[in-house]
Structures are given as structure tokens and as C-alpha cells.
């Protein structure tokens, strides 16, 4: 923890430290609000948060098996199964027989599911477009990169952590 050190050099950059704190606080605020907003979305769009993520996954990544969906959502496969149950009941998704594996099924969004996903997506995009308009394209793209890295890093630490507790001491 000093001059010739094994720790990231960056720890000693005060501007970086400050920027990180500010970003962390902003991100945390956003998470809190979004978690509320997402709870709220349930009654607005007739799907719950997980159902919404699942639908989004099926629409934007295409058909996948239940296990793949569970991994995408960071949910237990049993939970994912019930999420799909709900989407199927509402006719937003369907379980098709898997062509090569009779144990598995292929999950697919129905046309109604696609339409709903489009509506939800557009309602959010419209809001965000306005907020981004003030920034230059360079900055906008860099921001996306930052978010992707944060997501990738978090995903990695989740995976190497064995999917569960406790990689943080």
C-alpha cells in the first residue's frame, strides 16, 4: 500500500476519487428511483419488473432456453420458469419444443409480446433522448462505454464469485 505497490496506482488520484464518488452517488440515486419506477410499471403495462426484463430479453436477443433466460436475468431457473409462466398466461411469450433436446423448450415472444416491449421501450427512449441531446456524440458514446464496463465488471465478479456469496470480504 505505498510507493512500489501492488494496488492500483489510481487510488492516489484525487480527481478520480472524487469523480468516482459522485458517479456512485448518482448511480445509486438512479437505481433507487428506477426500482420504484419499475415497480410502478407493473400496473401501467401489465407486466412486472422481471417479466419486463424477460420479455425484453426474448425480443431483443431472440429465442432462448429457460436456462439461458435465467442466466440473462440473474435469476434462479425456478424463478425464471414462473416468470415465463406469467408471460405465457398473458400471451406475451410461448414455450416451443426445442428441436434438438426434448427436455428443453425454446422461449419466444409472441407478436403481442413484441408490441408491448416496443411500447415500453419507446416510452423510455423518448424520455432519455431529450436528456442526451445536450451532450456531444463523443461524450454520449463514451458514456455508453462506461456503463458497459461497469455492467461487465459487475457481471464478472458475480460469475467468478460462484453466482452467490461472498467475493467481497
Partner DNA sequence: CAAGATAGTTGCATCTGCCAACTATCTCTG
Partner DNA sequence: CAGAGATAGTTGGCAGATGCAACTATCTTG
List residues binding DNA (CB under 7 A). 36, 39, 42, 48-51, 65-68, 74-79, 81-86, 95, 98, 100-105, 164
Q: Which stretch binds a second copy (CB under 8 A): 7-15, 83-91, 92-100, 110-118?
A: 7-15
Contact positions with a second copy (CB under 8 A) in 128-147: 128-133, 135-147
- Its sign, for the CA torsion 160, 164, 165, 169, is positive
Residue 19: which of a second copy, DNA, none does it interact with, CB under 5 to 8 A by kind?
Answer: a second copy
Confirm or reject binding of residue 46 to a second copy (CB under 8 A). no
**Residue corresponding to grid cell 422481471:** 50
* Residue with smaller CB distance to a second copy, 96 or 132: 132
Minimum CB separation from DNA for residue 81, in Å? 3
Torsion sign across C-alpha atoms 146, 124, 64, 80 = positive
Burial class (CB in 10 A: 0-12, 13-18, 19+), 93: buried
Q: How far is the CB of 85 from DNA (least distance, A)?
A: 7
Q: Which of 3, 8, 99, 111 binds a second copy (CB under 8 A)?
A: 8
Residue 46 backbone class (left: φ over 0; alpha: ψ -120 to 50; beta: rest): left
Contacted entry of DNA, a second copy, none for residue 147, CB cut-off 5 to 8 Å set by kind: a second copy
For residues 31 and 24, give the distance between their C-alpha atoms in angstroms, rounded to a whole number.
Answer: 10
Within 10 angstroms of residue 75's Cβ, the number of other Cβ atoms is 17
Q: Which of 82, 90, 98, 121 binds a second copy (CB under 8 A)?
A: 121
Smaller CB distance to a second copy: residue 12 or 101? 12
Q: Whole-number minimum distance, CB 102 to a second copy, in Å?
A: 30
DSSP designation for 97:
E
Sign of CA dihedral 146, 119, 123, 31: negative
Amino acid at each position: 500500500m505505498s510507493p512500489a505497490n501492488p494496488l492500483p496506482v489510481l487510488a492516489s488520484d484525487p480527481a478520480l476519487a472524487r469523480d468516482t464518488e459522485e458517479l456512485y452517488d448518482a448511480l445509486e440515486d438512479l437505481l433507487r428511483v428506477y426500482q420504484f419506477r419499475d415497480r410502478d410499471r407493473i400496473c401501467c403495462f401489465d407486466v412486472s419488473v422481471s417479466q419486463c426484463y424477460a420479455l425484453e430479453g426474448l425480443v431483443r436477443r431472440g429465442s432462448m432456453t429457460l436456462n439461458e433466460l435465467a442466466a440473462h436475468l440473474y435469476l434462479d431457473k425456478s424463478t425464471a420458469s414462473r416468470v415465463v409462466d406469467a408471460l405465457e398466461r398473458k400471451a406475451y411469450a410461448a414455450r416451443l419444443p426445442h428441436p434438438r433436446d426434448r427436455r428443453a423448450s425454446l422461449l419466444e415472444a409472441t407478436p403481442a409480446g413484441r408490441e408491448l416491449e416496443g411500447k415500453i421501450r419507446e416510452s423510455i427512449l423518448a424520455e432519455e433522448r431529450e436528456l442526451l441531446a445536450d451532450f456531444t456524440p463523443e461524450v454520449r458514446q463514451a458514456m455508453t462505454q462506461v456503463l458497459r464496463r461497469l455492467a461487465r465488471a459487475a457481471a464478472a465478479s458475480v460469475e467468478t464469485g460462484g453466482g452467490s456469496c461472498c467475493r467481497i470480504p
